[in-house]
Amino acid sequence: MGIASQHQIVIVGGGFGGLYAVRSLRHAPAEVTLVDRRNFHLFQPLLYQVATGGLSPANIAAPLRSLVRKQRNTRVLMAEVIDIDAERRSLILDHGELAYGTLIIAAGSQFNYFGHDQWSEIATGLKTIEDATTIRRRVLAAFERAEREENPARLTEELTFVVIGGGPTGVEMAGALAELARQTLKNDFRSIDTSQTRIALVEAGPRLLATFSEQLSAEALRSLEQLGVDVLTSTMVVDVQPDSVTVNHSGDERVIRCGAGGARSIWPAHRRG
């Protein structure tokens, strides 16, 4: 990449942490390079809106280059970091190397399936635009299958969705699904009553939004129940299959059937760094 006379600061990750780091260095006497495998910043808090059709992906993505355009000491490099050679102070990229004087890692996090990584193929996470559009496709396809389903038991399964994790994303996702079924789509189908859709929100802890105050948790619970969401707290997920989610509450196991026409379980809230 060439030898520069100024100090080289490399920031890995164009999310909130990476962008805050970039902007805090706008007056630094250094050359700043922002590296990300995508060339856009994603406003992840609104992914649930994309997943339920309220927003398009373009509404929550902004080009990284435009965000730092006025910051003359900064450039954006679209690349994937393969490894770090700390001894040589160099990043190993998918198409070369990048030397650094100071390295800031803000690459984000990934989902934690608690030792059951095979569930990731069934219970879609909600972290990328691809995740959101996959969920939207599966959700809308479920209503389409329900419209032509004549078996009452299978109809109930098609209209059952399971959201795993009662953090902010899980709460928002469950609420948005309920609004989609009970308000947005209520007049769009002729053979089914979308208001009969069941949304189950499963949380292993004793309350929703555990990192927030108990008052806020109680208000979230009340709001979800008013929307018709079945909130299951102190409930562990013990198995996920394409057509069911098995949960355990105080030793009592039960199976929530959620259709065989594609995964209807969503894993939006549990992540690890």
Q: Which residues are annotated as catalytic?
A: 172
Reference 218, options 268, 171, 163, 271; nearest CA is 171
| Letter string b/e over residues 54-70, b meaning 16 or more CB atoms within 10 A of that residue's CB | ebebeebbeebeebbee
Q: What CA–CA distance (Å, rounded) separates 192 from 149?
A: 9
Instruction: Please state, in angstroms and as integers, the Cα–Cα distance from residue 242 to each residue in 31, 161, 207, 271, following that order.
Output: 49, 12, 27, 22
The span from the CA of 198 to the CA of 217, in Å, is 21
Could you give the CA distance from residue 192 to residue 177 in angstroms, rounded to a whole number? 16
DSSP code at position 180: I
What tokens does 19 get? Answer: 């962008």
Q: Which DSSP state fits 48?
A: H
Please provide residue 147's backbone torsions phi and psi, each rounded to the nearest 5 degrees.
Answer: -60, -30
Give the other-Cβ count within 10 Å of 110's Cβ.
Answer: 12
